[in-house]
Chains A and B, each alone.
Chain A
Amino acid sequence: MKVAQILKTCTRRAVLAAGLALGSAVSATAEEVFVYNWADYFPPELFDKFTEETGIRVRLDVYQSNEELAAKLQAGGTGYDVIVPGDYMVQQLAQQGLLQEIDFKTLENFPNVEGPLKFPVFDPERLYSAPYLHGSTGISYDSEKVGELEESWSVFFDPDPALSGQIVALDDELEMYKAAAMYLDIDYCTEDPAEATRILELLEAQKPHLLMYSSGGSIERMAAREVPMHHHWANGPFRVREEAPSWRMLFPKEGVNLWADNFAIPVGAQNVEGAKAFINFMLEPENIAAATNFNGYANSIPASRDFIDESVVNDRGIYPGEDIETRYVGNRLCSVEARDLRNRVWTRVRS
């Protein structure tokens, strides 16, 4: 679970609240933008820069998952001006009528955006969202403990007996189900129970080889070199490069999950113009580069590369190069039937 993140968030939130309270004391009546973002996912100094440039203050609230965001928005009355939904969640929120149709491609800085996420499948016209950061999920392994590995999900689902019982999988329904589907060459949005059964069987057969399912504390586990292999977001080895430089990233040939977060403006936003100004600000190369440096995730603005730290640009997990990028499989919103199947498979695997 994300308990470690929650703890971290709470401290961060307290510090931020203190900082923002100080800021508000200075300019009592200034305009404000209320941002609802993932925990620990934005460089605080960028908020200050935005306030300096525009005079608009930023208020921040944070969440831990797309589902938490959706639950909050469905309940209504949030007062958020900017939210940061993941790919499929953009599609779902738009379908539910919870996002404002802004036509983000008309923003002044949108022409900076390039690549597959310029007009992605979850928002093909960029009517509802503009890109923030993206990253992929593959297999990280400790190269000093694990020998040569085939670039395939087989090393994870059907591991070398020497690794059995030491592998960590992400505690994430979509990530695990999609990885299994890609390995079996099945569409992860399948509505066919027979195909879902094959995914279930693969996941159940893998379970004895796993040490645990966990998404929280993974960086600490890798840094302490507790385990030799960890299903992980591709910036993992980068984040532990100082404590444990032997970690490498493996991108399976059958497909690598690409996730992409986006800025959007929810229905009921108090300050739509301020929100647009904020999102436009984040499409400037120098600013999005600061976010990439802070998080270790790639962005969709090539001109930002000049502002990105060497260590980040040259990291094989964060910017793996075009050969690997062709293996990326993006997310779209699966049908209710498909999600229902996925749900049932996951609940069964986990209990």
Chain B
Amino acid sequence: MSNRSAHSYLAIGLPLLALAFLFFGPLLAILAASFTERAPNGGIDWSGPVFDAYTALFYTPDLFGELEPNRAFLSAFSRSLYLATCTTLICLVAAIPMAIYISRRSERTKTLLLLLITIPFWANLLARNYAWILILRANGLLDSALQSIWPGFEGTGLLYSETAILIGLVYSFLPFMVLPIFASAERFDWDLVSASRDLGASVSRTYGKVVLPLLTPGILAGSILVFIPSMGNFITPQLLGGGQDFMLGNLIALQFGASRNWAHGAAIAVGLMIGISLVLLCLRRLGPKGPHLSGGA
């Protein structure tokens, strides 16, 4: 074997090995765990594959052992879906103008603005969520600021609510929306806008028919990057939601933690993964064909 091919084997082999161990390994372990049962003292009973953990996603015995719809899973699922959708929509509305604005600045300003967008990543996500507690809590920064403008203001009471979760999610994931849309916007040929206007299209029509369609790859990529982590997030609902409104991530954490029902936790995780894959497939069908979706960002 020549020296050169040894190098290329190494170059391909190492990432593949890392992927196998660090990505597929854990994934397979979760998949395997989802076909087991909870051992009497918690953990995993490996004796034979069973599907109980999956049935339990939809039907679960009540306290008397009668099967009934699994309210815990269904409500966590619908709440996750709702909050992730809202997060994605809010991020979209905020990110499109931001991305277009940034893409039309000079190179220097562009670099500076992109830096500003990425700076929050330098601090740990947990620490940033704690910062929101300080801002939102009763008599916190927001309340005191409002009270100084408007004496006698009672306080927002925002912390530990669904709104607080939404604020936290939008804050955490907005950069994931801005960056891909920016990538699309930067390659956008603004002469097309002039052309459209010259041909008599109004501003709104130009944006609707020319700009947005050409930004679609970035919009889709950004939506996926925001929607998926929002769906599975558990730190933000725990810290900012006060742990009252479970999202799927919290339900999974509870199963792997205090309940020690790894089979059920794994089944929820696999279910979530399948659900998201289905959404992605649909998006692929709806969205532009071919290289756009993957190559857009």
Q: Which of B242-278 contact A (CB under 8 A)?
A: 242-244, 246, 250-251, 253-254, 257-261
What residues of A have a CB within 8 angstroms of the CB of B63 in the complex? 193, 196-197, 200, 341, 344-345
Q: A193-B63, A226-B138, A345-B63 are in contact. Are A350 and B72 (CB under 8 A)?
A: yes
Compute how far the CA of A166 lies from the CA of B119 in the bound complex, rounded to whole angstroms: 35
Which residues of B have CB within 8 Å of A210?
Answer: 244
* Residue contact B246 to A3, C-beta cutoff 8 Å: no
One of A71, A173, A344 near B42 (C-beta < 8 A):
A71
B43 at interface (Cβ–Cβ under 8 A)? yes
Q: Which A151-182 residues sit within 8 Å CB-CB of chain B? A: 171-173
Cβ–Cβ contact B235 & A71, under 8 A: no
Minimum C-beta distance from A243 to chain B (A): 14
Residues of A within 8 A of B75 (CB): 351
Chain A minimum-CB-distance residue to B133: A217
Of chain B, the residue at the smallest CB distance from A3 is: B126
B218 to chain A, nearest CB (A): 34
- Chain A residues with Cβ below 8 Å from B260 are 67, 70-71
Q: How far is the CA of A207 from the CA of B65 in the complex (A)?
A: 24
Q: Which of B61, B72, B139 contacts A351 (CB 8 A)?
A: B72
Interface contact B243-A96, CB-CB below 8 Å? no
B41 close to chain A: CB less than 8 A: yes
A347 interfacial by beta-carbon distance below 8 Å: yes
A96-B254 contact, Cβ under 8 Å, with A67-B260, A71-B260, A211-B160: no
User: With A and B bound together, what is the CA distance between A173 and B42 in angstroms?
Assistant: 15
Contacting residues of chain A (175-214) with chain B, CB-CB under 8 angstroms? 193, 196-197, 200, 207, 210-214
A49 CB contacts on chain B under 8 angstroms: none
* A92-B41, A351-B251 given; A212·B246 CB < 8 A: no
CB distance from B258 to the nearest CB of A (A): 5
Q: Would you list which residues of chain A between 54 and 109 have a CB under 8 Å from chain B?
A: 65, 67-68, 70-71, 74, 92, 95-96
Q: A65-B258, A343-B259, A351-B75 are in contact. Are A212 and B65 (CB under 8 A)?
A: no
Contacting A350 at CB < 8 Å: which of B43, B139, B246?
A: B246
A74: nearest residue on chain B (CB-CB)?
B43
Most chain A CB within a 10 A radius of its CB, from B60, B61, B62, B261 = B62
Which of A67, A92, A200, A351 sits near B246, CB closer than 8 Å? Answer: A351
Is A336 in contact with B40, judged by CB distance below 8 angstroms?
A: yes
Contact status B76-A351, CB under 8 Å: yes
| Size bracket, chain A contacts | 35 or more
User: For the complex, what is the distance from the CA of A1 to the CA of B130, rounded to whole Å?
Assistant: 13
Q: Is A241 an interface residue (CB 8 A)?
A: no
Contact residues of A: prevailing secondary structure:
helix
B29-66 contact mask (Cβ, 8 Å, vs A): 1 or 0: 00000000000111100000000000000001111110
- Interface contacts (Cβ under 8 Å), in number, total 90
Q: How far is the CB of B39 from chain A (nearest CB, A)?
A: 8
Interface membership of chain A positions 1-38, coded 1 if the CB is closer than 8 angstroms to chain B and 0 otherwise: 10100010000000000000000000000000000000
Contacts of B254 in A (CB 8 A): 347, 350
| In the bound complex, CA of A74 to CA of B260 (Å) | 12
Chain B residues with CB under 8 Å of A68's CB are 257
Asked if B216 is an interface residue, CB under 8 A from chain A, the answer is: no
Nearest opposing residue in chain B for A227, CB measure = B138
Q: Are B137 and A67 in contact (CB under 8 A)?
A: no
- In the assembled complex, which residues on chain A have CB atoms less than 8 Å from the CB atom of B253? 1
Residues of chain A within 8 A of B62, CB atoms compared: 344
Cβ A226 vs Cβ B257 within 8 A: no
Contact status A207-B41, CB under 8 Å: no
Tell yes or no: A145 within 8 A of B by CB: no
CB <8 Å contact, B160 and A96: no
> CA of A287 to CA of B43 in the docked complex: distance in angstroms?
36
Given A71-B43, A350-B246, CB of A173 within 8 Å of CB of B258: yes
> B244, A213: Cβ atoms under 8 Å?
yes
Q: Which B residue sits closest to A92, measured CB to CB?
A: B41
Chain A residues with CB below 8 A from B246, complex form: 350-351
Contact B137 A348 (CB under 8 A): no
Of chain B, the residue at the smallest CB distance from A347 is B72
Please, which residues of chain A bring their CB within 8 A of the CB of B43?
70-71, 74
**Chain B residues near A65 (CB, 8 Å)?**
257-258
A226 proximity list for chain B (CB < 8 A): 137-139
Interface pair A213/B126, CB less than 8 Å apart: no
A327→B243 CA distance, assembly (Å): 30
Q: CB-nearest residue of chain B relative to A213?
A: B243
CB distance from B221 to the nearest CB of A (A): 31
What separation, in Å, do the CA atoms of A213 and B241 have in the docked complex? 10
User: Do the beta carbons of B64 and A193 come within 8 Å of each other?
Assistant: yes
| B129 closest partner in A (C-beta) | A3
Interface string of A332-351 (1 = CB under 8 A from B): 00001000010111111011
Q: Identify 21 residue pairs between A and B in the complex whose beta-carbon atoms are under 8 Å apart, listed by A's number.
A: A1-B253, A3-B238, A67-B42, A67-B257, A70-B42, A70-B43, A71-B42, A173-B258, A193-B65, A211-B160, A212-B242, A213-B242, A217-B133, A226-B138, A336-B41, A343-B259, A344-B61, A346-B258, A347-B72, A348-B71, A351-B251
Nearest 4 CB-CB pairs, A to B? A212-B242, A351-B72, A193-B63, A213-B243
